[in-house]
Amino acid sequence: MSIYRTLYQRLYTWKDELDHKPVLIRGARQVGKTTLVRSFSKEFANYIELNLEREADRELFKLDDTGKLLNAIYLHKEIKLNSGNTLLFIDEIQEEPKAIQQLRYFYEDFPELYIVAAGSLLEFALRNVPSFPVGRIEYMYLHPINFEEYLGALENTLAQEALATVPVPSYAHTILLRHFHDYALVGGMPEIVNNYSQSKSFLGLSKQYNSLWQSYKDDIEKYAKNDSEKKVIRHIMATAPYQLDRIKFEGFGNSNYKSREVSEALNALDLARVIQMVNATTSIEAPIMPDIKKRPILQFIDSGLLSHILLLQGEMIKLSDLSNFYRGRIIHHLVNQELISIHQDIFYKPNFWVREKKTSNSEVDLVCRHENMIIPIEIKSGKAGTLRSLHQFVERAPHHYAIRMYANEFSVEHTKTPSGTPYVLMNLPYYLGTQIPKYMEYFVNNY
């Protein structure tokens, strides 16, 4: 079964562009890059797939002349030149830096050819490309499956339509919440979602999670610069899932590692998209400026995988509200993951807001930009009057909008902070993470 990915539509639009630059699809391992391109290949008369982990395919790129290289590729794959529109897919392109360099010449010498390349750990490979084709490549980003795509995998088009309706119909709330709780358990890794969509059972997924996490651990040597960094990365991968709050580099995970050692190892994992650092900001006006001097929080590639590592899935099955479960860590992680997933043309990282004073600290779970405003988003249940950190932001912001995400139905209320500052609070069910930009536009236009 092929799961429809929203990036497919972006590729389809690219296909119709007169000036279609080669596309480089970036993303972590196992998020479905190869499957997506193979599905997209049906739009073409001819399809050529090279995998540069195979020596025979990699050897082709020893040819420097683009015309000879292309002829060699056609001959290697037994496809006749000029026999209809052709998609050339270069998979695992990070294995041959010369292939990345060659994308420029394909674009200049054979503009009629459609080229998509993909790879994991690309950020590491790009360091070894002496003449990177700046301006001659288009980037697209693929992430784990989000809730909208998950509903598509279940072939539940009615639920997808309800999810995309702004505001979400009240009659759909309970059903969408139930599906989202299942999605929180399954996660967004394509192989696992595919198996669940067919079996409708959580049994048997544990083995896949273990295999998947082990595969990321086995990639450690590709992330690390030396043996010392390998040890630090191993320690981080073993202990990072248990970090509930903002992290400290020095002594990370009850270790003796120095701040610099941990920082460099985390930067490597961040580049690999396996464990990313989400930075704080103190901004209340656009733009959102990340403050890398403040302690970050960690964002894993997938919430389902994180819950499995923490052995939380058994407890989650019984819950009707994830807001306060595991001190809110899982739902916060999920909303971040959903928001990251909708950014296909840029590498997007969410931010949280902090105000650190000697007398008191404030921390808002998420801030998002809409036009020239930064809108604060808290992810928790409870009465509006309990949103202390949100109120700290509202009292300083040059606008009167705030969002709370929780397990209840959609609503909008006019309220005040404890000190009397009026503001408008939009309450969003937390299954609407992929729809946040649409709701911010609706919110500002209507209130």
Sorted by where each begins, the domain ranges of the chain are 7-141, 150-346, 352-446
Q: How many CB atoms lie within 10 A of CB 7?
A: 23
Locate 153 and state its tokens: 């995998």
Helix (H, G, I), strand (E, B) or coil at 6: coil
Nearest partner of 47 among 115, 138, 107, 127, judged by Cα: 115
Tracing tokens 């997007």 back to the chain, one arrives at 348
Query: Is there a contact between 291 and 282 (Cβ–Cβ < 8 Å)?
Result: yes
**Burial bucket for residue 183 (CB in 10 Å: 0-12, 13-18, 19+):** buried
SS3 string of 315-367?
HHCCCCCCCCHHHHHHHHHHHHHHHHHCCCCCCCCCEEEEEECCCCEEEEEEE
Q: Which of 208, 220, 328, 206 is nearest to 275 (CA)?
A: 220
Task: Tell me the pLDDT of the chain (447 aa) as tens digits.
Answer: 678 999 999 999 999 998 899 999 999 989 999 999 999 999 998 899 999 999 999 999 999 899 999 999 989 988 876 667 899 999 999 898 889 888 888 888 888 899 999 988 777 766 666 566 667 889 999 999 999 999 999 999 999 999 999 999 999 999 999 999 999 999 999 999 999 998 888 887 888 999 999 999 888 777 788 899 999 999 999 999 999 899 999 999 999 999 999 999 999 999 889 999 999 999 999 999 999 999 999 999 999 999 999 999 989 998 999 999 998 999 999 999 999 999 998 889 999 999 988 777 899 999 999 999 999 999 987 666 679 999 999 999 999 999 999 999 999 999 999 999 999 999 999 999 999 999 999 999 999
User: Which backbone phi and psi does 253 adopt, to 5 degrees?
Assistant: 60, 40
Q: What residues form DSSP beta bridges with 24?
A: 117, 139
Determine contact, residues 397/284, Cβ cutoff 8 Å.
yes
Q: In whole angstroms, what separates CA 9 from the centre of its chain?
A: 17
By the 8 A CB rule, do 423 and 415 touch?
yes
For strands 401-406 and 422-429, give the pairing: parallel
Output Rg (C-alpha) for the chain, integer angstroms.
23
Buried b (16+ CB within 10 A) or exposed e, 295-332: ebbbbbbbbbbbbbbeebbeebeebeebbebbebbbbb
Helix axes 190-199, 173-186, angle to 10 degrees: 120
Q: Which two tokens stand for residue 297?
A: 């929080």
Helix (H, G, I), strand (E, B) or coil at 67: helix
Query: pLDDT at position 347, please?
Result: 86
Four-way CATH pick for 7-141: 3.10.420.10, 3.40.50.300, 2.60.40.420, 3.30.465.10: 3.40.50.300
Residue 176 DSSP SS3: helix
Query: Can you tell me the distance from the alpha carbon of 393 to that of 398, in angstroms, rounded to the nearest whole number?
Result: 10
